């Protein structure tokens, strides 16, 4: 009888975060970690406390699973995983599969019956959560967002290349461009190079699709923001500059108070604005540098920061509790 939760991609950065949050959640089912590495029977995942063996995914693991969490996909493994128990997909690879549903329990009126549960891209979930917290008390007419994406969103190889680029530039040497096909270090990229392994336009499109889906889930119908995704020379954590137009002139002090009541980490004038590095390891999001727009009586500016992996991992555990 199936009695475990299978985590496919446990050796990824996102997989590690899911494993940590699963351990804190004290769920009844055992978590079985697996990798999609196919050239070896196992890989080693090291942490400060231990060295753990993460086995390559096999049929036995899939058959034993009451739910499957995926943080990455390989084409040859996709068919096997799809034949298994309910899937929680953090990659978006299954979004076009029949019956796939973008999940947000906070917006849903009841349990969702589906075999494929899509966890929103962290930037989409960050913006949906923020607009939800605003919209309930101060109706939003529209918003415009510049979203800054870190290297960690693209995995260890992207982090390694950013580090090597930084060292090479400081040493006046040629920089590696295998992953970005462009200089990211000390730079901002609205689009990566032609031969890049990262397609910002595709990621931006996914964020818009999921924001539309989340808006439809929301009872009040969240306004969908216009989003420009920019790759930033940072290792971890999202940041976002958000302009919001409300349906009437906003009371900034009242907005701050309501956000605090909702449990948001609000950095008011007495505190420094939030940073992407300061949000590492923190659940939810932080907001600061909240200012009225000098040129628009109904507009205001907000600065957001959040841990991209924690956003998805927390939502994954929430959906998993329902499935179990």
Is 252 or 47 the better-scoring residue by pLDDT? 252
Q: Is the pLDDT of residue 251 over 70?
A: yes
Evaluate if residue 171 carries a pLDDT over 50. yes
Cα–Cα distances in angstroms (integers) from residue 217 to residues 24, 56, 214, 222, 321, in the given order: 28, 36, 5, 9, 19
Q: What is the pLDDT of residue 80?
A: 62
Average pLDDT over residues 277-295: 93
- Short-list 321, 323, 312, CA closest to 18: 312
> pTM for the full model?
0.90
Is residue 47 scored above 60 in pLDDT? no
Q: Is the pLDDT confidence value at 285 over 60? A: yes
Strand (E) or helix (H) holding 287: strand 286-292
User: May I ask the CATH architecture of the domain 124-308?
Assistant: 2-Layer Sandwich (3.30)
**Average pLDDT in the 133-150 region?**
92
The pLDDT value given to residue 44: 52
pLDDT tens track for 184-199: 999 999 999 998 988 9
On the question of pLDDT at 42 being above 80, the answer is no
Is 146 in contact with 230 (CB distance < 8 Å)? yes
Give the pLDDT score at 99. Answer: 86
What mean pLDDT is predicted for residues 266-284? 91
| Main-chain phi, psi angles of 313, to 5 degrees | -65, -45
Could you tell me the residue ranges of all domains in the chain?
4-119+313-323, 124-308
What share of the chain in percent tops pLDDT 90?
Answer: 57
H or E element that contains 240: strand 238-246
The pLDDT assigned to 48 comes to: 54
**Over the chain, what is the mean pLDDT?**
87
pLDDT at residue 40 tops 50: no
Q: Which residue has the higher pLDDT, 241 or 72?
A: 241
How far is the C-alpha of 45 from the C-alpha of 42, rounded, in Å?
10
- Summarised one tens digit per residue, pLDDT across range 84-122 is 688 899 998 888 888 899 999 988 888 888 889 999 999
pLDDT value, residue 38: 61
Confidence of residue 56 (pLDDT cuts 50, 70, 90): confident
**pLDDT beyond 90 at 290:** yes
Q: What is the dihedral of CA 17, 7, 212, 273, to 10 degrees?
A: 0
Q: Report the percentage of the chain scoring pLDDT > 70.
A: 90
Q: Does domain 4-119+313-323 bear CATH number 3.20.20.80?
A: no
What does the pLDDT average to over 160-180? 91
Least confident of 69-83, 202-216, 238-252: 69-83
């Amino acid at each position: 009888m199936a009695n475990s939760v299978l985590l496919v991609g446990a050796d990824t950065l996102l997989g590690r975060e899911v494993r940590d949050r699963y351990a804190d959640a004290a769920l009844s089912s055992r978590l079985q970690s697996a990798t999609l590495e196919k050239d070896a029977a196992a890989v080693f995942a090291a942490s400060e406390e231990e060295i753990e063996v993460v086995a390559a995914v096999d049929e036995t693991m899939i058959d034993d699973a009451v739910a499957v969490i995926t943080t990455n996909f390989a084409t040859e493994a996709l068919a096997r995983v799809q034949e298994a128990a309910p899937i929680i997909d953090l990659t978006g690879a299954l979004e076009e599969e029949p019956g796939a549903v973008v999940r947000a329990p906070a917006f849903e009126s009841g349990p969702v019956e589906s075999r494929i549960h899509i966890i929103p891209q962290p930037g989409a979930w960050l913006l949906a959560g923020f607009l939800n917290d605003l919209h309930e008390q101060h109706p939003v007419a529209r918003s415009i967002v510049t979203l800054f994406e870190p290297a960690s969103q693209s995995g260890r190889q992207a982090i390694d290349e950013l580090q090597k680029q930084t060292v090479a530039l400081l040493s006046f040497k040629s920089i590696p461009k295998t992953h970005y096909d462009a200089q990211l270090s000390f730079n901002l990229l609205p689009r990566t190079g032609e031969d890049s392994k990262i397609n910002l336009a595709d990621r931006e499109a996914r964020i818009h699709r999921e924001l539309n889906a989340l808006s439809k889930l929301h009872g009040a119908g969240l306004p969908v923001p216009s989003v420009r995704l920019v790759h930033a020379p940072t290792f971890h954590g999202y940041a976002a500059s958000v302009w919001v137009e409300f349906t009437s002139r906003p009371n900034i002090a009242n907005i701050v108070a309501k956000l605090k009541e909702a449990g948001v980490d609000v950095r008011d004038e007495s505190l420094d604005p939030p940073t992407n590095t300061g949000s590492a390891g923190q659940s939810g999001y932080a907001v600061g540098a909240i200012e009225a727009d000098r040129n628009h009586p109904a507009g205001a500016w907000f600065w957001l920061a959040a841990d991209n992996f924690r956003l998805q991992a927390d939502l994954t555990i929430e959906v998993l509790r329902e499935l179990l």
